[in-house]
Structure 1
Amino acid sequence: MATIVEPETTKPAAAGPRHSVPQAVERPAAAPGGRRRIVFAVLGLALLGLIGLGAKKWWFARSHVSTDNAQVDGHIIPILPKVGGFVAEVRVQENQNVKAGDTLVVLDDRDFRARLAQTEADLAALLATVSSRTRVGQAEAAVAQAQANAIKAHADLERLEPLAQQDIVSKQQLDAVRAAAVAADAQLASAQAALVGADARVAAARAARDQAALQLSYTRLLAPTSGVVSKKTVEVGQLVQPGQPLMSVVPLDDVWVVANLKETQTADVTSGDPVDFTVDAYPGRHFAGRVESLSPATGAKFSLLPPDNATGNFTKVVQRVPVRIRLDRPNEAAHPLRPGMSVNVTITTK
């Protein structure tokens, strides 16, 4: 089979001006010294920033003391019964606000009422033997009678003595009158002593009556101050004993901050120094206060097992000194401080 090959034809180039093709221009490489200068400038700025920050902290530390080892503290008042008995009523709930004088718990008081009635009856019986505002008692009547007999006996003696000197009456009669006067004096002294004894018995009976009434009043447990009920462990029908913890009342209107400063930080801290602190529960919220007092001893000395450095196993540890801080303002209802909250404290010492 035959193959036909056609001749190639070349087209002439179009007439016109020739344009030169642009060639890439080589730029000179940056000098190594320029890069070093940039790096050194950045490092220098960073170093200056660190030096400035360190100087600022050093200057701040000259007049301020800071610690995060601090907590809010306050009174936690235990509610303890003074008498034992069965619980009749529990009138509060956990975390309930109470006011001073509110009744928290009521104990069964029937036994105490019976005891009070018995002591009142004993007192009434004893009052019948001594004087009172409305009547004369037996003991006082006996004293009055003995006093009248003594006065009569001494009067008879005064009349008979001149007659005996004139031998108008016999000596035997004079001796009998003298003996009667002495007996009347003795009877008066005895009646007065009986009256004093009766008064003492009445006083004892009245004290027993008052004690019974006081025991009856103890069957109602009242809130000693305004606050919030916490840690309630009592229920109706429970048998409680004197001194048994039933609940606690925490007054939130009287709280303070205890900052445990290192012993090396307390050299310039004095009472009255201003304090700024924050609480972890309220980020960004600042509170103001003042140093109220410093503890007379470190916290380790009040621990259950104080360290004994004389045993030979001595390791020096920086001790902590509790510093009490009083708030400048009352506890806020919107941001209440509760005992146990963690605090960051800064004290201005100069």
Structure 2
Amino acid sequence: MADADRPIIAEREIAAPADVQATPQAEKPKRRWLRLAALLSVPLILVAVGAYVWLTSGRFVSTDNAYVQQDKVSVSADVGGRIVAVNVRENQHVNKGDLLFRIDPEPYRIAVEQARAALANAQVNVQTLKTEYQGKGADISGARIAIQQAQEDFDRQSELMKRGFTTRASYLNSQHALQQARVQLENAQAQAAEAKAKLQTGAAVPGENPQIAAARAQLDQALLNLKRTEVRAPSAGTVSQADRLQVGNQIVSGLPALSIVVSDRAWVEANFKETQLNKVRVGQPAEIEIDAYSGLKLKGHVWSFGAGTGSEFSVLPAQNANGNWVKVTQRVPVRIAIDEQSPRPLIAGLSANVRVDVRGQR
């Protein structure tokens, strides 16, 4: 049995090297084609990259010196007083007209009552002037009757004086009485004119007495101040810097109390080098990448150019009138409008990258 098994083992041992040698011979053509494909693909890739660089060369200008900007409204109180209620908190979204905080209204309610009293007093004064004017009309009528009587008495005394039937004293008394009556008429007419003038209305406020108009204006001012004790949001947005609002604090009119960031109006301020602006025009399309959101790209366009470089409007502008002057490339702010709604919130101050297609047109 041992001898019978030996040929079989020998055949297996002989057959094995033949299979091993057959495998490399079958794989040689495949390796040759792979090597040829690799040799051809490298030049093709280099040609494609070179063509892309050549075609896109000078087409785009970009900068990473760009930031998201939003309108920021500084809210202040138009009247001063003590804060009695605060209805908002930091980073809260508010709509236009929402109540932000309230100032103590009691002093302003008292001012309204005083203004109403002053208006009533002015109305009483005007009514008194009307009554006086009507009384002056009666005085004028009485003065005219007195003049008529004095004139008749003077005429009679003059006739009697001519005939010698009266004394000179009686004649002079009648003459004096006539003069007094005429003076009284003139005084009554003057007083009536004065009363009428006080009842006149000016061209600025036709149809209303100036006293009543002034009192009404004071009442309107008092009512406006009372209304201003409720400070409301001038626009929709996100509340910021509201930590200073505390119940019981005194607030001064005109000083900023909080800020509202208008979140629905965002743009990007891109600071391009002055050497990059030769081909940049308003309306050219732009691509915006926000550093905070990886992979987020927004479409936009060039909206406008700044009126001056960044250094021109700095607090301490550069002074180059000296012997150590070194020319520095300036940055020009360019406003980039965002043409689409961002899926992520755009926060004022976020860093961005902007690329403008100087050959394209929006």
Three-state SS of the structure 2 residue aligned to 1:77 is strand
Structure 2 counterpart of 1:82, from 28, 53, 78: 78
Task: In structure 1, give the amino acid aligned to 2:312.
Answer: K
User: Where does structure 2 lack aligned partners over 5 or more consecutive residues?
Assistant: 1-34, 160-173, 202-207
2:132 partner letter? A
Deviations 1:282-326 (A, max 9, x none): 222221112111011101111000011113331111001101112
Pick the aligned partner of 1:281 from 272, 277, 292. Answer: 292
Classify 1:157/1:276 alpha carbon distance in 2 versus 1 (closer, same or farther; 3 Å).
farther
Match of 2:133 among 134, 139, 143: 143
- Cross-structure match for 1:349: 358
SS at match of 1:343: strand
Structure 2 distance, partners of 1:123, 1:335, is 57
Shift of 1:279: 1.1
Aligned equivalent of 1:185, options 176, 185, 189: 189
Aligned equivalents of 2:210 and 2:68: distance in 1? 54
- Who is 2:16 aligned against? none
Residue of structure 1 equivalent to 2:336: 325
* TM-score, structure 2 normalization: 0.71
Distance change (3 Å), C-alpha of 1:75 and 1:193: same
Calculate percent identity across the aligned residue pairs. Answer: 37
Residue equivalent to 2:106 = 110
- Which stretch has the larger CA shift, 199-208 or 337-346? 199-208
The answer for unaligned runs of 5 or more in structure 1 is: 1-37, 131-136
The one-letter code matched in structure 2 to 1:205 is: A
Partner of 1:265: 276
Length-normalised TM-score, structure 1: 0.73
Shift of 1:345: 0.8
Q: Which residue, out of 50, 55, 71, partners 2:67? A: 71
After superposition, residues 216-255 of structure 1 pair within 5 angstroms as 216-233=226-243, 234-255=245-266
Secondary structure at the counterpart of residue 196 of structure 2: helix
The answer for the alignment partner of 1:213 in structure 2 is 223
Q: Which residue in the other structure is 2:7 paired with?
A: none
Q: Which residue of 1 aligns with 2:349?
A: 340
Map 1:16-55; keep pairs closer than 5 Å.
Answer: 49=46, 53=49
Q: What is the distance in 2 between the residues matched to 1:47 and 1:314?
A: 50
Give the C-alpha shift of residue 144 in structure 1. 3.5
CA distance in 2, matches of 1:175, 1:55: 119
Distance 1:154 1:266, change over 3 A: farther
RMSD: 3.7
Structure 2: distance between partners of 1:57 and 1:249? 46
From the two aligned structures, give the one with the greater helix fraction: 2
Question: Residues 53-80 of structure 1, C-alpha deviation per residue, up to 9 Å, x if partnerless?
Answer: 4664454242321111111101111221
Partner of 1:292: 303
Q: Offset at 1:229?
A: 1.1
Matched, 1:97 2:93: yes
Amino acid across the alignment from 1:287:
L
Q: Provide the C-alpha distance between the structure 1 equivalents of 2:56 and 2:140, rounded to a whole number of angstroms.
A: 95
The answer as to 2:316 corresponding to 1:305 is yes
Q: Distance in 1 between matches of 2:144 and 2:52?
A: 105
Please state how far the C-alpha of 1:119 moved relative to its aligned partner.
Answer: 2.1
Cα deviations by residue, 1:54-113 (Å, 9 ceiling, x for unpaired): 664454242321111111101111221222222211111211111101001112222222
Aligned residues: 302
